[in-house]
Amino acid sequence: MTILDSSKGYQKYFEEITKIPHGSDEEKQISDFLVKVANDNNLKVVQDKVNNVIIYKDASKGYENHEPVALQAHIDMVNEKNSDSNHDFSKDPLDIYIEDGFLKARGTTLGADDGAGVAYILSVLTDSNLKHPPLIGIFTVNEEATMLGAFEIDTELIKAKRLINIDGEEEDSSMTGSAGGMDIFISEPITRDTNKTNGYKLVIRGLQGGHSGAEIHKERGNSNKILARLLHALSKEGTIQLATFNGGLKINAIPREAEATFTYSNVDKCQELVNKITEEIKKELEFTDAGLTITLENIELENTIDSKTSNDIITFLYLVPSGLRHKSDHLQGLTTASENLGIVDLTDTTFEFGLSVRGALDSYVQDLADEIITLGQCFGYKPKTDNWYPAWDYMEHSPMRDTMAKIYKEVHNGKELQLYAVHGGLECGIFKGKCPDLDIVAIGPNIYDVHTPDEKLDLASFDRTYTFLCKYLENL
């Protein structure tokens, strides 16, 4: 039984994609699927060593002398799920369903970021009835984690000076620039006492979370920061020894859930203090995270770490900045710098920490990173940076953008296309760095709550945006 309309190529391909595991670092199956689609349709295809795939399609009749156009999307998705979900992203198909005109997945992310773009490109490449220039479909790996695919792509295989990135999330808008960024990690050894003792479990649930590039300006609650705040407040009235602290699954997703287990010396005031801080936090987040729940329960612990190490971890997490840092005075609504405390994991032997920084300028990225590194060093930690990617700067003169705006207005009965820069990181900056004369535009259908289990794809927008894409290619 199919959920989507298989008579529409892009809907058929999207549903097929949801059946294939394709989280970051696990793209081999979907990469092989793309190769099979190309072979089945007699299209030239190249699969490189990191599983990027490039598919070529000749120009339609009458377009043989037009300049080639590259269509680009990433094939990995963010694997996020609710705590009560038993979904195994390594093998289970997504459980998709339609509700009120939106496509969703039960308990997990949907992967419309960027399955929608992948499905569009496959549909264009396999439809013999479309009119278009020579096409190059570029499918990259690991965009959501390291952007490895874009960095590794061989530009000798891409003989085009025009590129359409299909990783947008707003139908009526086109992105004209994006932030750069990098990730910061800490991994510090810890030791534990093994004596059993009574303690507490403090749990954060019900936050909205979201994409740290797209939603950070909305100032939604960060479960790791909330948990650190509660523990910090407790530490001022008594002694804490942590057993666990776990929150967040992806460094670029605002964490929705977190929990800690610990002992506390001031047993008479523990629940009272938690109730007081909970009331304050829920009031602060009543308009952004009305579903927030904070619970405290008594449990038995097998072991803990010492109070000094515990206090250092709590204080560091309490002090580390996370959220909106700078916004533009030139472009209304544009976040220009931010941090996201995405992952905390107190394992049996280590304290693990992962934070992403983004900035419209390289100087923002470097300064925010140095701030985190310096703070970590104050606690004796040795932060490391990784996964740097460049910003995509606004291009003053863009024939691709001008044509796109013109066609959008024709297709949408005079409505103007909105042009804006985004705070999220896109592969466009990497492609532009490799090919400085590349003219790039970015589009996509309406997708909401990406990087969360609430992710949903507007199916009417999915249809309209594909119609627009085909009309756009016809005019290039």
Active-site residue set: 76, 143
What residues contact residue 344 under an 8 Å CB cut-off, 6+ apart? 224, 245, 246, 247, 248, 258, 317, 352, 353, 354
User: Quick one: 266 exposed, middle or buried, by C-beta within 10 A (0-12, 13-18, 19+)?
Assistant: middle
Helix/strand/coil for 115: helix
Half-sphere exposure of 184 (CA within 13 A, CB side): 27
Q: Which two tokens stand for residue 70?
A: 């590259």
Distance between CA 318 and CA 321 in Å, rounded?
8
Distance from C-alpha of 299 to C-alpha of 8, rounded to nearest angstrom:
54
What tokens does 168 get?
A: 């947008």
Give the C-alpha separation, 465 to 444, whole Å: 7
Between CA 35 and CA 71 the distance in angstroms is 16
Instruction: Indicate the residue type of 66.
Output: H
| Element at 29 (helix H, strand E) | helix 28-40
Task: Outline where 129-247 has alpha helix (H).
Answer: 148-152, 223-235
Question: Rounded CA gap, 209 and 358, in Å?
Answer: 17
Other beta carbons less than 10 A from residue 252's beta carbon = 23
DSSP state, residue 6: T
CA distances from 310 to 28, 80, 224, 235, 458 (A): 41, 28, 15, 10, 45
With residue 228 as reference, give the H or E element that holds it: helix 223-235
Answer whether 298's CB lies under 8 Å from 264's CB: no
The three-state secondary structure class of 203 is: strand
Contact 69/164 with Cβ under 8 angstroms? yes
Whose CA is closest to 251, among 352, 350, 162? 352
The β-bridge relationship of strands 418-425 and 258-264 is unpaired
List helix spans (H) across 41-142.
112-126
